[in-house]
Structure 1
Amino acid sequence: MLSSVHSSLYVDKNGCIRLGNDSGPLIIWHHDSKLENSFDGKITILEGFTGKSIFIGEQITLSGGLYDPEPTNVTPIISKTCTDHGYWISGPLQK
């Protein structure tokens, strides 16, 4: 099911990028997305659908959908510390 969510990007103590807070879903990004450190020390995500850059802590609107079961076609394997609150399978960033 495709929907959208408006939330902030959050990194928990285990390095998992979630929506909102520690109990938010883990975001599964498009395979062309990239994670970088910007020149000012911010964590930047270059979103693979649109090519837009977003930062940890930024409010975003992201299409996609919430899923409870663990995705089976994701590599590398997702750490169990990141999988306890479901997954947001990312669609295009709407920002």
Structure 2
Amino acid sequence: MSAAVSGSLFNNSAKWPESCLPDKRTVANDPVCMSKCVQVTYKGNTLTVPINNMCRYCAIDHVDFTDQAVLWLEPAGTTVGDAKGLNN
């Protein structure tokens, strides 16, 4: 589970090296991803996930969660949409 944040927060010269994760997925070698997490509370469930990806065209106050993160928050499934009333 992880999150993506606005591309405007990234350094354009950042590289995408392989990670030490079992699947060797690439992770942005960028300050916005280094030891940074996003926390969301939804229907009494709180989830904290690392930022490890860029949402190139997202607004600076927008966060994209992986499908696994969304299903953890809403096990019955949900449609894609925007969460409203979030605090920084």
Normalized per residue, the structure richer in helix is 2
What TM-score do you get using the length of structure 2 for normalisation? 0.27
Report 1 or 2 for greater relative contact order, CA contacts < 8 Å, sequence distance ≥ 6.
2
Structure with higher Rg: it is 2
Normalized per residue, the structure richer in strand is 1
What TM-score do you get using the length of structure 1 for normalisation? 0.26
